[in-house]
Amino acid sequence: MDLLGVGIYVKNSPEAVELYKSAFGLELGYHVLNDDGTYFHSELTKNGENFCSVVEAKEAKSVVYNPIQLGHTFETRRELEHAFLVLKDGGKVELDICELPWSPCAAIVADRFGVNWYLTLRQHRPSDDWTPESGD
């Protein structure tokens, strides 16, 4: 079964590739460059598995609100904290690193390219009586 692939379209795709490589420990796989050195297509992988692709956006658009949020589950808090620090540089923190009823450690950050990221450790189901208002 094929999994859904994620393509991230940004301005300054070489910088975005380096940011995501650093944040998530990725490697640049197959890629094709435009004449100006930006990416026509790039595949970022982790342990040989596809993570995402990064492509140079043709038009500069101001991102006011991007309703799409990409999520990544980390094995360790240290990995999550590293990605959070890298992604928040020039970006905007929506939810600082914290415990949530369904995750022992999570954060939400929009990176400097306007991409929204939900970072988490392995999640678990909250109790049946949990509500956003109760916070327990």
Q: Extract the tokens encoding 125.
A: 């189901």
Mean pLDDT for 82-93 is 97
Contact 76, 99 (CB under 8 A): no
Nearest of 42, 6, 28 to residue 117 by alpha carbon: 6
Mean pLDDT for 34-59 is 90
Mean pLDDT for 11-27 is 96
pLDDT at residue 66 is higher than 70 = no
> Ramachandran region of residue 113, left (φ > 0), alpha (ψ -120 to 50) or beta?
alpha
Q: Is the pTM of this model over 0.95?
A: no
So what's the pLDDT on residue 133? 59
Mean pLDDT for 64-68 is 57
DSSP character at residue 75: S
